[in-house]
Structure 1
Amino acid sequence: MVILRASFFCRIASFTSIAKYERIADACHLSDKMPQRDVSSWNRLITGYAKTGDLENARLVFDGMPERDVVSWTALISGYDQYGFSSDALKLFSRMVFSGVKPNQVTLVSTLSACARLLSVNQAKQVHAYSIGTGFESSIFAANALINAYAKCGSLEDARQMFDKMPERDVVSWCTMMGGYAENQLGKKAMDLYCKMTKDYVKQNHVSLITVLTTCGSLAALVQGKMVHAQVVRTGFHMNSVVGNAVVDMYTKCGAMREAHRLFDKMFGSDIVSWTTMMVGFVQNGYSEEALKLYKKLLWTDVKPDPFTFASILGACANLIMLELGKQLHAHVIGTGHEMSVSAASSLVTMYSKCGNIDNAAQVFDKINCKNLISWNAMIAGYAHNGNGEEALQLLEMMLETNIKPNHITFLGILSACSHAGLVDEGCYYFDMMRRENNISLTSNHYGCMIDLLGRAGRMYQVEDIVNNMPIEPDASLWQTLLGVCSIHGNVELGERAAKNLIQLEPKNSSAYALMSNVYAAAGRWKDVAKVRKMMKDRGLKTLPGCSWIQVKNWVYTFLAEDTSTPLPEEIYANDNDIEIG
């Protein structure tokens, strides 16, 4: 009997070891040979299945158990949450509570994580109420999970209330609350909390520093970003590559490309994230040529580009309309095995579209196996950019059939497509659909598209109605769009209103004066045209010179009117007379 008992415990030990390293088939085989099983052995099998994502077998084992303890329920709930089956996790938690098994802290954390994934604030509050009843609310572990759940659900007041009443906090508490503010575009509050954190002498970690650096970037708060950078150096985290990349990203978001590049050059052992961050910064700040130069340097290193690298560099090609180089990069994407990446493929769609090759864009789009919202938006925007309005609308209907919900970017592409193709009634229909069916908040860009659409069609009475009843404050771009429409139809009164607001927002914008001059010209008011031009001269403003460019051997050369800064200007201008315009 002693020998049998010893043998049984040896098998339990072996089973535990095998399950721990996820050799589930071996664990099952050994489990079948056990002369008897207890709850602990069943739990290890559930945990093994759950950790490898085999939730079907984990559930079969769970359902077949003669008895279960809190570990049994928690293992399966955690598995469901970890692999995205959040609804199943919440259903199992409810069943657990009704069965009389008391959850532990790990159970509550996994359940709150599921609430956060589902953005279900009501269920998070129910779990919160249960945690109060069981006394777990005072636990830092559970309290941090509650803050995270509320923040992810957008309930920042509940999150902050939970944070403020914690008897003690750790660095995770601070990071979670700051991250919640940052994710909900409340960067100022995130920065204020960081200042409080430093005043309370809370020890920093890499997460807190990355969070506040990201916030500085989103706010373009360069001065504060530099202060955090100094803190990074003082605490020794500048040697951490992830933190270093966050500092570079912060500088690029603030437009400080010189500082970003200097830091990038100093980074020891730059990884692909560092390279990609720098390339993205160049592209977003209008230095696409520099992004291409950096990509060429990357190819001489041992660092391999990933799909996000290709996405950024294809964006540079799209900005510069470099179709031939874009095609070479397409070949490189295929050669590195990233052609199936949704990120790289969607960027290829955008590149081909912006370069005017809509057929290649459509071919790439059709080959994407698992299309996501970004893929659909890229193709819709591509059709809009090339004037294919009907195709854009058909694609939207196909997208809706796949149960992918459109967002504000989708409808911006649709409205733009309708505007370029003159589909006025369709544009009005989808504009109303945004508010009626999708509950999407309209931005100044959406209203600008509608003003352009209706203005092109000559429906100035509807344009005035939109301008007078907008629930948001118009930005400079919208006023400029309105001014352009007024210049076509000679609507002086509305044009003067648009010009006044545009000049107030951007006093150095010469387009406001030029467009207002066109409004007066369209109305035959030549004295007012002369007044506007004199006003421009008195304020030292000039209209932007005309620009053209050509691509030679994978490089784009830009020419401005009367520009002498180009290579070999004398030779170029000497050949002006030989140029034939077809």
Structure 2
Amino acid sequence: MRDKFFQSCSCYIQIQLGFTQVLNRRQPRVQVYLTNCSSNSGKIHTNFRTYAHLLQNSIPSRSLGSHTHFNANSYMSYLKRLIHYNGHATDARHMFDKTPQRDEVSYWNRLIQSCAKSGNLKTAHQLFDKMPTRNVVSWNAMISGYDQYGLKEKVLNLFCQMVHSGVKPDQFTFPSTLRSCGFLSALNPGKQLHGYIIRTGFESNAFVGSALIDLYAKCEKTGDARRVFDEMPERDTVLWTTMIGVYAQNQFAEESLKLFCKMQKEDMKQDSIILLTVLIACGSLAALAQGKMVHAQVIKAGFHTNYIVGNAIVDMYAKCAAMKDAHRMFDRMSERDVVSWTAMIVGYIQNGYCEEALKLFQKLLWTDVKPNRFTFASTLSACANLAMLELGKQLHAHIVGVGYESVLSVESSLISMYAKCGSIDDAALVFNQIASKDLISWNAMIAGYAINGNGKEAFQLFKLMIEADMNPDRITFLNVLSACSHAGLVNEGCLCFELMRREYINLVTTNHYACMIDLLGRAGQLSEAENIVNNMHIKPDALVWKALLHACRIHANVELGERAAEHLLQCEPEEPSNYVLLSNVYAAANRWPDAAKARKLMKDRGLKTQRGCSWIHVKNRLYAFVAENTSHPLSEEIYAMV
């Protein structure tokens, strides 16, 4: 009955009376009382003040006997609850100052750890500064707290103070400090720390070794990371996972797969994380055979029911262009989240099945899974690729309804969709409504003007972008040069190209040279175009020679065309369109026998041109047409109309 009374206590007087009555009772009853009163979040700080008062004044140490230490531990536990669940760090600190155990380092450490883990770093540091003595646990508590909440510079400063104070770091100190060096890309301090680790004998510790590998990876020193890995006397699953992940994250997918094969030979246990990493590497390399082997290992290990691993398998098959396998895996998944659906939608789009992507998106809307910004952005690109303006507008309305209209990635996708569907005014309207434009949104709008033939608008927007202190990238310059080329803006294109070569030379690729050659070629300035090719700072590729050959076709310049064709066929001898382009150069100059020879050469090499395809969207259905195709049920009527 008395226990029930304690459980119902809520006011200060009741707590005092109830606790006073239990003082002479068994100690476990006090523990029950504390547990129940601490669950009342509104009164917890009052309860603890009462307990602190009673602990110091009302309970003689002789009456507690062997339970004195137990009470101190209980008291610390509830101080930690006070911090974690109620955020009363200051109250906990003041109460701690009144306890008899405040001179014991372990109690200081426990309170500091609680404050640090709950984000009360100011209170934690105040307690840390007041400590009569500090040990390695004290320093680790503060270093770990600052590391957890992203204050990496403070971590490094604390570590230096720790070393200077004469306290030796341990295996729990180094990982946080190494992570901070990696986060700050502080390679030199990281190397100095590595040397200190070797001197103190912690280089063989698996956790420290893993942190070292991660440090070098974040500083783009993959070779150094591999050396640390190779020099480890014993390598556990964590180390293997870290190193394989480093290769995968730094675009060394092939090395990632090789290391995974080596891990298998050493009969190391594989967890879901490492299999997930290897699946990503297989997708990056489009390594279907290896991906299927890893899929089999996932099933063997029992991880196939994990929806995160399932998502990685779907994504891997999609990147390997194995959409049937991807859909089979998708259908077998017992649990599908928004990542699962988005991976399938993106896979269909990347492999040219935009209509299937839209059908899958419609199915998604009938489920309980809510599309996210990536889902909407991907689906908008499918609408753009199929030029389905009405469906794009419906999707835009849905996006507004769910509140994603102000997300930059979605806004940029909306701009691209409207532009590719020919509604450039709607694209400009979306662009102008963006409060804080990023590089992607600027590029999307410039590209929109370019593909719609608005060269002047594209160039003016580029100038506004520069004035807004937004640094252009390769895509920006490519869009501007393309816009100038199709609009015949030779002077503007030359200004853009000169700016790029003068201030952004590292961004220049053969694509930009090809655009510039196309610009000059369309304007009839073939000698200037050839001069640019001859003075390129990088080796011309097939794209450059094709642009020059195309210009020769426009102006029937056979002599220059033959020189360009010679280089082009050396670069791409198996590309049939190159022979067709050369044939068209001869045809433009009325040299029909030579034109026939070029096409005969293509046929003799067993090359065939790919047929063109056009499509039309009627009543929510897409119809595709290829030359000489009679598969459509109304093909006779269609050809009769044509």
TM bin (shorter chain)? 0.7 to 0.9
Contact 1:46 / 1:61 at 8 angstroms: preserved in 2?
A: no
Q: d(CA) in 2 for partners of 1:69 and 1:395?
A: 61
Which protein has the larger Cα radius of gyration, Structure 1 or Structure 2?
2
Asked if 1:273 corresponds to 2:335, the answer is no
Which stretches in structure 1 are left out of the alignment for 5+ residues? 577-582
Q: Quote the offset at 1:199 in angstroms.
A: 0.7
| TM-score of the two chains, using structure 1 as the length reference | 0.85
Matched, 1:35 2:97: yes
Partner of 1:382: 448
Output the CA distance in 2 between the equivalents of 1:60 and 1:175.
35
RMSD: 3.5
Instruction: Give the match for residue 15 of structure 2.
Output: none
Q: Any conservation in 1 of the 2:545–2:568 contact (CA below 8 Å)? A: yes
Q: Partner of 1:580 in structure 2?
A: none
Q: CA deviation at 1:327?
A: 1.0
**Residue 12 of structure 1 pairs with residue 76 of structure 2:** yes
> Structure 2: which amino acid aligns with 1:487?
R
88 and 487 in structure 1: CA distance in 2 versus 1, 3 angstrom threshold: farther
Q: 1:338 to 1:61 in 2, by over 3 A?
A: farther
1:450 Cα deviation from its structure 2 partner: 3.2
Q: Establish whether residue 223 from structure 1 lines up as the match of residue 289 from structure 2.
A: yes
Per the TM alignment, residue 61 of structure 1 is displaced from its structure 2 partner at its CA by: 4.3
Q: How far is 1:570 from its partner? A: 2.4
CA distance change for structure 1 residues 548 and 2 in 2, over 3 Å: closer, same or farther? Answer: closer
Aligned residue number for residue 3 of structure 1: 55
2:240 maps to 174
Specify the SS of the correspondent of 2:616: strand
Shift of 1:232: 1.8
Provide the rounded CA distance (Å) in 1 between the counterparts of 2:135 and 2:150. Answer: 24
Number of equivalent positions: 573
For 1:525, give the aligned amino acid: R
Equivalent position amino acid for 1:16 in 2? K
Mapping 1:226-265, distance limit 5 Å = 226-265=292-331
Verify the 8 A CA contact 2:253 2:281 in the aligned structure 1: yes
Change (3 A) 1:150 1:558: same
Distance 1:565 1:138 in 2: 68
Gaps of 5+ in 2: 1-52, 58-67
CA contact (8 A) 2:82 2:92 kept: no
Conserved? CA contact 1:15–1:30, under 8 Å = yes
* Aligned amino acid, residue 328 of structure 2: R
> Pairwise mapping of residues 156-235 of structure 1 onto structure 2 (< 5 A)?
156-235=222-301
Q: 1:543 to 1:193 in 2, by over 3 A?
A: closer
Structure 2 equivalent of residue 152 of structure 1? 218
Identity rate, percent: 59
Q: 1:215 to 1:541 in 2, by over 3 A?
A: same
Matched residue, 2:586: 520
Q: Hey, what does 1:559 align to over in structure 2?
A: 625
Over 3 Å counting, the alpha-carbon distance change for 1:131 and 1:570 in structure 2 is same
Identify the range of structure 1 (106-115 vs 189-198) with the bigger mean alpha-carbon deviation: 106-115
Give the superposition deviation at 1:532.
Answer: 1.5
Task: Using the TM superposition, give the Cα deviation of residue 526 of structure 1 relative to its aligned residue in structure 2, in angstroms.
Answer: 3.4
Structure 1 match to 2:634: 568
Q: Could you say which residue in structure 1 is the equivalent of 2:60?
A: none
Structure 1: how far apart are the matches of 2:450 and 2:605? 38
Q: Deviations over 1:41-70 (max 9, x none)?
A: 776677667656677x56974896567765
CA contact (8 A) 2:89 2:115 kept: no
3-state DSSP of counterpart to 1:556: strand
CA contact (8 A) 1:324 1:554 kept: no
| CA–CA separation in structure 2 for the residues paired with 1:84 and 1:427 | 45
The partner residue of 2:549 within 483, 498, 501 is 483
AA partner of residue 312 (structure 1): S
Which of 241-250 and 437-446 deviates more?
437-446
Shift of residue 412, structure 1, vs aligned partner:
3.2
| Larger mean Cα displacement after TM superposition, 271-280 or 72-81 | 72-81
- Whether the 8 Å CA contact 1:147–1:177 is kept in 2: the answer is yes
Aligned-partner Cα distance in 2 for 1:81–1:428: 50
Provide the C-alpha distance between the structure 2 equivalents of 1:201 and 1:172, rounded to a whole number of angstroms.
14
Determine whether 1:343 maps to 2:409.
yes
Residue identity opposite 2:56 in structure 1: L
- Post-superposition offset of 1:218: 1.2
Aligned CA distance change for structure 1 residues 515 and 33 (closer, same or farther; 3 Å):
same
Quote the offset at 1:307 in angstroms. 1.4
1: CA distance, partners of 2:131 / 2:170? 21
Deviation at 1:566, TM superposition (A): 2.7
Shift of 1:329: 0.9
* 1:407–1:440 Cα contact (<8 Å) kept: no
Give per-residue Cα distances to partners, 1:57-115, cap 9 Å, x unaligned.
56974896567765565556555555555455545555655565544444432333333
Q: Deviations over 1:304-346 (max 9, x none)?
A: 2111111211111111111111111111122223223333232
Do 2:260 and 2:278's aligned partners in 1 also have CA atoms closer than 8 Å? Answer: yes
Whether the 8 Å CA contact 2:128–2:138 is kept in 1: the answer is: no
Contact between 1:42 and 1:65, CA under 8 Å: does it hold in 2?
A: no
2:533 is matched with 467
Tell me: CA distance 1:277–1:201, structure 2 relative to 1, closer, same or farther (3 Å).
same
Query: How is 1:279-358 mapped onto 2 (pairs within 5 angstroms)?
Result: 279-358=345-424
- Once the two structures are TM-superposed, the CA of residue 217 in structure 1 deviates from its matched residue by 1.4
SS in 1 for 2:428: helix
Residue 140 (1) aligns with residue 206 (2): yes
Kindly state the Cα deviation for residue 143 of structure 1 after the two structures are TM-superposed. 1.1
Counterparts in 2 of 1:475 and 1:320: CA distance versus 1, 3 Å? farther
Alpha-carbon contact 2:84-2:118 (below 8 Å) kept: no
Q: Deviations over 1:158-213 (max 9, x none)?
A: 11111110111122222222222223322222221111111111111112112221
SS of the residue aligned with 1:185? coil
Q: Secondary structure at the match of 1:239?
A: coil
- Counterpart Cα distance in 2 of 1:45 and 1:150: 34
Whole-Å Cα distance in 2 between the matches of residues 423 and 126 of structure 1? 56
Q: 1:286 to 1:148 in 2, by over 3 A?
A: same
What is the CA distance between 1:145 and its match in structure 2? 1.3
Shift of 1:552: 2.2
Go from structure 1 to structure 2 and tell me whether the alpha carbon gap of 1:139 and 1:378 turns closer, same or farther (over 3 Å shift).
farther
Deviations 1:449-499 (A, max 9, x none): 333334334443453344345565555444433332332244445533543
- Indicate the residue corresponding to 1:579 in structure 2: none
Contact 2:108/2:131, CA 8 A, preserved across alignment: no
**Cα 1:364–1:543 shift into 2, 3 Å:** same
Q: SS where residue 301 of structure 1 aligns?
A: coil
| CA pair 542-167 structure 1, distance change in 2 beyond 3 A | closer
Secondary structure of 1:244's counterpart equals: helix
Shift of 1:372: 4.2
The answer (yes or no) to whether the contact 2:89–2:120 under 8 Å persists in 1 is: no
**Alignment partners' CA distance in 1, 2:604 and 2:210:** 60
Whether the 8 Å CA contact 1:322–1:554 is kept in 2: the answer is no
Label 1:100 to 1:464 Cα distance change in 2 as closer, same or farther (>3 A).
farther
Contact 1:47 1:58 in 2 (8 A): no
Aligned partners of 1:8 and 1:34 also within 8 Å: no
Query: What is the alpha-carbon distance in structure 2 between the residues aligned to residue 443 and residue 449 of structure 1?
Result: 10
Residues 490-499 or 309-318, more deviating = 490-499
Does residue 1:549 correspond to 2:615, yes or no?
A: yes
2 CA distance for matches of 1:65 and 1:389? 68
